[in-house]
Amino acid sequence: MSLSLLLRLAWRQSLIRLLLFYALALAVGLALDEPWWALGLATAVVALRAYWRLYRVLRFLDWRKQLQTVDGQGLWAALETLIHRRQTENRARTRRLVRLLRAYRQAATAMPDGALIVNRHDGRLVWFNKTARHLLGLRYPQSLDTPLAEVFEGQPRVRDWFAAGITDEPLTDLPSPAEPMARLSLRLIPYSPTQWLVVVRDVTKLMRLEQVRRDFVANVSHELRTPLTVVHGYLDMIEPDEHPELAHMVEEMRRQSQRMTQLVEDLLTLSRLEAQESLPEEPLAMAPMLVTLRREAEALSQGRHQVLVEDRAGVDLTGSTKELHSAFSNLVSNAVRYTPTGGRILIRFERSADGGARLAVQDSGYGIPAQHLPRITERFYRVSTSRSRESGGTGLGLSIVKHVLSLHQARLEIESEVGRGSTFACAFGPARVRQRETAEAGAGGSVD
């Protein structure tokens, strides 16, 4: 029966019954010659009955028990029917929600990755699945409420990573607290303002494969060094004047063996950088560094380009002098190699808006088509293989730059327009900036 019809019927029934009851009471009262008493008694009966039904309804609502029977007809019965319907609907909804929740939990528990729900404000564990228990050596329920940093005791990286809320990059290569030989990666997923999901993945095999790859490249490069030195040595012993018919061949062989040597050296540099977790934290004086970079650019350019240096930052950096020099040199060398004669190369050191500093190498060269930019720092990725080879490139320069910068928590920013030139900038955070101690401190200006 529809609700409105039920209510309409109930109203009508109630009213008719009430009127009949009072009519009967009045008739009995008149018969007994006490009509007022009879009406008063009838009112008391009506009130008592109303209280009793109200008590019944309240009791069911209060005890959260389901109303099983609906008594009689009329308004009170309609109210009970309504409550009964709502209760039945609510129970069905709750059952559905519980089933859904259970299914989610089962799915999360069965996940091959570890899942932890962590309080955002204090980093304490709220829930974790079975895989997380195995991977992290947690125990249920004892480990609940333990701070994540405590689970990874001795790994301050985890605390810093969680506090910084780094969600775009996973934290990789962490030793597992349960099994030191196992390697884990953590990913942060902020799914609500108060609780975050931490996904733990066992990357031991992946790391081992990566190590095998690194070792292989490093070993091959290392093994190639000696034969190359021998070939070099013999080639140097051949005098082109004595064998003019071989001169062209020997020249080409020399060039190729030099290229191979450069390739081997770059591969070894990359392997060394990959194996390193951090670099020495030395003060790096930028004024002499800019002078060196300018000298290198001029030597490579042989007067074919205009080289300008601007030192506007008036600060120095902290980091590994050797590695940063190699990164900056790579950018300068690229700018010279990919800029035609008559072009302009500007090396600019400036402060950035976030309080950090940036070394930008700008050229007026060939430029790079936009579709190549996302892959430009991959090993051996070249926009034009022939141009790279002609200019003596190995295709590893920008990979080395990227590695060196990431070891300094810095970024490589690239802007380029075909035919107009490119700007490669190394952006360092404020933590890498240090006050310049020399007399030129804060001078700023041009060194060209």
CA-based nearest residue to 268, from 229, 228, 217 = 217
Among 81, 204, 292, 384, binds ligand ADP (CB under 6 A): 384
Q: Is 425 in the site for ligand ADP (CB under 6 A)?
A: no
Q: Give the nearest distance from C-beta 137 to ligand ADP in angstroms.
A: 43
Q: Give the nearest distance from C-beta 231 to ligand ADP in angstroms.
A: 22
Q: Is 327 in the site for ligand ADP (CB under 6 A)?
A: no
- Burial class from Cβ neighbours inside 10 Å (0-12, 13-18, 19+) for residue 275 reads exposed
Q: Residue 259 gets which letter from DSSP?
A: H
Q: Is 362 in the site for ligand ADP (CB under 6 A)?
A: no
Q: Is 251 helix (H, G, I), strand (E, B) or coil?
A: helix
d(CA 264, CA 394): 9
Q: Residue 432 gets which letter from DSSP?
A: G
29 versus 397: smaller Cβ distance to ligand ADP: 397
Q: Is 328 in the site for ligand ADP (CB under 6 A)?
A: no
Select the span of 44-52, 79-87, 173-181, 334-342 touching ligand ADP (CB under 6 A).
Answer: 334-342
Matching residue, tokens 């007026």 = 364
DSSP string, 393-420: --S-HHHHHHHHHHHTT-EEEEEEETTT
Number of residues that bind ligand ADP (CB under 6 A): 20
Amino acid at site 58: L
Q: Is 128 in the site for ligand ADP (CB under 6 A)?
A: no
Q: Give the nearest distance from C-beta 100 to ligand ADP in angstroms.
A: 52
If phi > 0 it is left, if psi is from -120 to 50 it is alpha, else beta; for residue 220 that is alpha
196 versus 338: smaller Cβ distance to ligand ADP: 338
Q: In the chain, how many H helices and how many E strands? A: 12, 14
Q: Is 397 in the site for ligand ADP (CB under 6 A)?
A: yes
Q: Is 263 in the site for ligand ADP (CB under 6 A)?
A: no
d(CA 87, CA 98): 16
Among 80, 270, 422, 426, binds ligand ADP (CB under 6 A): 422
Among 307, 332, 383, 405, binds ligand ADP (CB under 6 A): 383
Select the span of 142-150, 199-207, 391-399, 440-448 touching ligand ADP (CB under 6 A).
Answer: 391-399
Q: Which two tokens stand for residue 65?
A: 């028990």
CA-based nearest residue to 363, from 293, 426, 306 = 306
Q: Is 388 in the site for ligand ADP (CB under 6 A)?
A: yes
Q: In this structure, are strands 357-363 and 421-428 parallel, antiparallel, or unpaired?
A: antiparallel
Amino acid at site 149: A
Among 129, 131, 364, 394, binds ligand ADP (CB under 6 A): 394
Q: Answer for the pair 322, 359: CB distance below 8 angstroms, yes or no.
A: no
Select the span of 22-30, 131-139, 383-391, 437-445 touching ligand ADP (CB under 6 A).
Answer: 383-391
Among 315, 335, 359, 425, binds ligand ADP (CB under 6 A): 335
Q: Which of residues 95-114 bind ligand ADP (CB under 6 A)?
A: none
Binding mask 242-261 for ligand ADP (x = CB under 6 A): --------------------
Burial 200-236 (b: 16+ CB within 10 A, else e): bbbbbeebeeeeeeeeebbeebeebeeebeebbeeee
Q: Is 363 in the site for ligand ADP (CB under 6 A)?
A: yes
Contacts of 141 (CB under 8 A, 6+ apart): none
Among 312, 382, 411, 434, binds ligand ADP (CB under 6 A): 382
Among 42, 67, 263, 376, binds ligand ADP (CB under 6 A): 376
Q: Is 364 in the site for ligand ADP (CB under 6 A)?
A: no
Q: Is 404 in the site for ligand ADP (CB under 6 A)?
A: no
Q: Give the nearest distance from C-beta 221 to ligand ADP in angstroms.
A: 16
- Burial class from Cβ neighbours inside 10 Å (0-12, 13-18, 19+) for residue 134 reads middle
Q: Give the nearest distance from C-beta 218 to ligand ADP in angstroms.
A: 19
Q: Interface residues with ligand ADP (CB under 6 A)?
A: 334-335, 338, 363, 365-366, 368, 376, 381-384, 388, 393-398, 422
